[in-house]
Amino acid sequence: MGKSIPLSFLFLFATSSFSSVGGQTPTPSTSVIVIEGGTLIDGTGRSPTAGTTILIEGNRIRQIGRQGEITAPGSAHIIHASGKFIIPGLIDAHVHYRYPWIHRLYLANGVTTVRDMGSQVERILTLRQELAVGNILGPRMFVSGIAINPGSVKAMGVNTPQELARKLVEAGVDGIKVTGYTPAELEEVVEVAHAHGLLVYGHTGPKVDGRAPGAFLAIEAGLDGIEHGYGVLEDSMGEAIELPSNFDPSIREHLFRYWYGRMHRNFDSDKAEALIQFMVQRNVYFAPTLVNIARHERTPEDLAANPALRYIPEGEPNTLASFGEEERREWMNTLVRMKEFTRRFDQSGGLLIAGTDSPNGATLPGWSLHQELELFVQAGITPMKAIQAATLNNAKIMHQDKELGTVEIGKYADLVILNANPLEDIRQTRNIHRVIKDGRVLDPAVLLEQNIRQFGERGEQQFDRTNRE
C-alpha cells in the first residue's frame, strides 16, 4: 500500500497530545451510573418518556424504566435529571480527523461517535485503535481510509481503483469513500466493497470537468450514499450554467464560485424529484452537509466573531470566507435549493444523515453538528427526525444500529443530558448538562478547559507540550 509511516511516529501522534488531564482518565468505566427523573428521547422516534430512570453498568445500558421501578445499588453514581432531557450520543458521519486538538471538542458538544472520511490509512487505523482501547479520551471512530480517485490510486502505488479498494478492505476500513471515478470503475469498487459488507459513498461530482459521473450514473453503478448537497444539485439542473471564459475547474475557488455557487440559477424541480425518487428506490442515503455550504453566506467578520474560535489554534482551520457580497448572495440562493432538496428527500422516505465536513473552513468540530441540525429544521424537517439523522440514521449507515444510535437496553452507554427540550427548539441540543460516553460521565465545561490547558487558545503562540499537562 505504498510507503508505510513508522509505527513509532503513529503512536507519538496518538499519545503525546492526548494525555489525561484534570482527573478524567481514559480507562474504561466499571461503575454503576443511574440517571434519575429525566425525559427520555430515545432516538427510535417514539414519543418522549418523562420521569425515566436509566441504569448504566460499565459501558452498557442495563435497565430503563419509570422512576421508582429500578433500585440503584448503594455505590451507584446518581445523576439527578429532573427537568432535563436525554438523547442518544450524537454522531457526526462526515469528519476529517486531522488535528490532535479536536477530541475533547467533539465530546464537549455531545458528539460521541465520528466517521472519518479520508485520511492516510495507517495513521487513521492506529488512531481508531487508540480511541477504541481507551488510550485517548475522544469519540469512538469509524474510518474510510484514503478516498479513491485517480490521484490516490497513483499515490498508493496501485494500478486501478478496484485494486485500491481491495487494499483498503484488507487494511480493515469500515467503508470506502470515492471522489473521482468512471461508472465502470465505480462498479468494480462497489463489487469489492459489497462482497465484504462495506458501503461505498462519496462525491458524485464535479461533472463539469468529467472527473465524476454525476448522481444518476453513480447510483446506477451501485453508490450507497451521496455526500454534499451540491452533488445532487448538479443532476437537478435544467440548462447548463453559463461559465466565464477563464473558468478552470481544476482551480477549487473557480469550482465553488462559478459552478457550485450558481447552481440555483437553473434548478429544475422535476429533475430534482426524479433524482429523489431514484435515490429512495435504490436505498441511497443523503448527507447534505448544509453547514459546509452555509458558511459561504457569512462574512469574515461574522466568522471571526464566533466564540467557539477560542478553542481552535490560530490558523487551524482557516475560518475567513473568500467570497464577496455578490458571491454570498449566490450561495444563499443555492443553499435555499439544497434545503428544498433535503426536505423533499426526507418527506419521500429517504435516509437522511448528518455530517459536517469538520474541521474544514468554518465548520468547527462539534459545534457544526448542532448547526447542521438547525439547518435541517429550517429546511422543514421536524426536530425529532433531525435528531434521528445524527443518531439512529448515522448508526444505520455504519452498520452499528445494534450498538449505537438509540438509548435502549444493551446498547453502548453513549448519551447526552440536555438542560431543555430539543423537540421544542432544536437549538437546545447545544444546551448540554453532561455527556456520557462509554459509561464515563463528562462535563463539557471541564473538557473545554482541559483543551485550553493542553493546547492553548486562539491567538497564543505555538506552545511547548512539555509545559502543559
Domains, the chain, in order of start with CATH, read 89-397 (3.20.20.140)
Quote the pLDDT of residue 2. Answer: 39
Cis ω for the linkage preceding 359 (within 30 of 0): yes
Does 127 have pLDDT greater than 50?
Answer: yes
Quote the pLDDT of residue 294. Answer: 85
Cα(65)–Cα(109) distance, rounded to whole angstroms? 27
| pLDDT, average across residues 46-59 | 97
Mean pLDDT of the chain: 89
Quote the pLDDT of residue 462. Answer: 52
Does 341 have pLDDT greater than 80?
Answer: yes
What would the pLDDT profile of 305-323 be if each residue is shown by its tens digit? Answer: 788 888 987 665 555 456 7
* Per-position DSSP letters for 32-97, written without gaps between them: EEEEEEEEE--SSSPPPEEEEEEEEETTEEEEEEETTTSPPPTTPEEEE-TT-EEEEPEEEEEE--
What would the pLDDT profile of 402-460 be if each residue is shown by its tens digit? Answer: 999 999 999 999 999 999 999 999 999 999 999 999 999 999 999 999 999 998 888 77
376 beta partners = none
- Between residues 318 and 91, the one the model is more confident about: 91
What would the pLDDT profile of 363-376 be if each residue is shown by its tens digit? Answer: 899 999 999 999 99
Q: Per this entry, what is the length of the chain?
A: 469
Quote the pLDDT of residue 239. Answer: 84
Confidence of residue 29 (pLDDT cuts 50, 70, 90): low
| pLDDT, average across residues 192-197 | 98
What would the pLDDT profile of 233-278 be if each residue is shown by its tens digit? Answer: 999 999 888 899 999 988 888 888 889 889 999 999 999 999 999 9
| Burial profile 297-319: b = 16 or more Cβ within 10 angstroms, e = fewer | bbeeeebeeeebbebbbeeebeb
Q: Which of 430, 445, 446 is nearest to 87 (CA)?
A: 430
Does 191 have pLDDT greater than 90?
Answer: yes
The pTM score is: 0.91
Cα(119)–Cα(97) distance, rounded to whole angstroms? 7
Give the torsion sign (CA, 25, 30, 36, 40): positive
